[in-house]
Amino acid sequence: MDHITFLVAVVIVTALAFDFTNGFHDTANAMATSIATGALKPRTAVLLSGVLNIGGALLSTEVAKTISGGIVDDTLVTPGMIFAGLVGAILWNLLTWLLGLPSSSSHALFGGLVGAVWVGAGEHGVHFDKVVEKVLIPAVASPIVAGVAALLATYLAYKITARARQDSVTKGFRLGQIASASLVSLAHGTNDAQKTMGVITLTLISAGALGHDAGPPVWVIASAGLAIGLGTYLGGWRIIRTMGKGLTDIQSPQGFAAEAAATTVILTSAHLGFALSTTQVCSGGILGAGLGRRLAEVRWGTAGRMVIAWLVTLPAAALVGGVSASVVKHGGTFGTVVIALCAAAVAAFIVLASRRNPVRADNVNDAHEVTVRAAVPTTVGTVA
């Protein structure tokens, strides 16, 4: 415990704060479609998701190892750099939450860390080949794979059930959604909670409390799982509204297809140690499900804003992380306190701004901006 200095303790607390924002920012990944179709009540959905996120956090540590010893050189990283990177990630998460944009918490974290380490240790402190291999390539490929899989699954679901009674089909797929949404939550825990585990492990390595290439201790795994679970339970209702109602007019067969496709991609990547964005995977699945149903209209304006947010996330978080790292590097403890106070002030402003137009469990499904072209009713396969 001699290695746990005040700065290290601050970094650990900040990392868990990021994990908490990751939870409420990404609740929509698992539960937006189930809430939108009525398969689960909003509060029940976020409670179930929170519990399963904790369970998923205990299943694997492959992604955590990618963070702690993959994208940056742990021999050059200091706790101050990690703190600066986390500040960039947290502020980006809060800003996109305020705007209701399902951007990537993962890429916010990677961007913050890369920017902070680049400024603090120089470009040789960042393993750019690993960033490309483990972050950028999965970022491009994963939503496309999930989207194509969801499109095909949606098409087949409507094709197979075309002659069945619509109420029976809806009821059956809503039950299926409960299972598929639960698997997405479990998969989210195996992927996203591990990123915080990796950050805390990297901090402990940089402080000399753990050896190089060490995995996360049990207390790190448990605390990261609890933080993301609690954040998930609070529910990021703004982003849930965007993903559930803003991208397409989603029905239960589509919701099931999107969730099943996303789960497969996330669990596969977690096994391989790819720290991909669950937000991008789930968004790709929802878009694919929208394209897979006849007469459903995808709201491309919303999709376009999401893609812009995805593209901006890494450099924006890197910029904030780099500026913060510069202040911490040259200001020492005083610089760290200044950055902490500035970050707290910005976070408080964002939270206060969100109260002007609150989105809660009781009104999350009220806004329905998507229009659907008039369809010829009768069969399930052609209902709008």
Task: Tell me what percent of the residues of the chain surpass a pLDDT of 70.
Answer: 90
Amino acid 139: pLDDT: 85
* Angle of CA points 56, 197, 20, to nearest 5°: 75
Residue 119 to residue 132: CA distance in whole angstroms: 19
The single residue listed with the structure tokens 């409420």 is: 24
Distances in whole angstroms, Cα of residue 35 to Cα of each of 28, 237, 255, 312: 9, 10, 10, 28
Most confident of 136-150, 199-213, 296-310: 136-150
Secondary structure (3-state) at 28: helix
Mean pLDDT over residues 251-270, rounded? Answer: 86
In tens, the pLDDT along 63-95 reads: 666 665 567 887 888 889 999 999 999 999 999
Q: Which amino acid is at 343?
A: A
pLDDT at site 379: 44
Residue 372 has which token pair? Answer: 């659907």
CA atoms within 13 A of residue 127's CA, in its CB half-sphere: 17
Q: Residue 45: which of 268, 281, 233, 326 has the closest Cα?
A: 233
Residue in 70, 84, 69 with CA at minimum distance from that of residue 117 = 84
8 Å CB contact between 142 and 269: yes
Q: What is the pLDDT of residue 77?
A: 85
Reduce the DSSP state of residue 243 to 3 states and report it. Answer: helix
Cα(126)–Cα(147) distance, rounded to whole angstroms?
31
- Whose structure tokens read 């200044």? 338
Residue labelled with tokens 């207390």: 219
Residue range 88-105: average pLDDT?
89
Q: What is the pLDDT of residue 70?
A: 67
Identify the DSSP state of 214: P
Q: Which residue has the tokens 């799982």?
A: 225
Res 366 pLDDT > 80 = no
CB 170 within 8 A of CB 383: no
Give percent of the chain above pLDDT 90.
Answer: 31
What average pLDDT does this structure show over 235-247?
81
pLDDT single digits (tens) 287-333:
999 899 876 778 888 888 888 988 999 999 999 999 999 999 898 88
Residue 61 — φ and ψ, nearest 5°? -130, 15
Residue 348 has pLDDT above 80, yes or no: yes
Q: Does pLDDT of 251 surpass 60?
A: yes
The stretch 211-234 carries a mean pLDDT of 87
47's tokens: 């409670």
Q: List the one residue out of 162, 142, 16, 164 whose CA is nearest residue 90.
A: 16
Q: What share of the chain is helix, strand, coil (3-state, %, to 5)?
A: 75, 0, 25
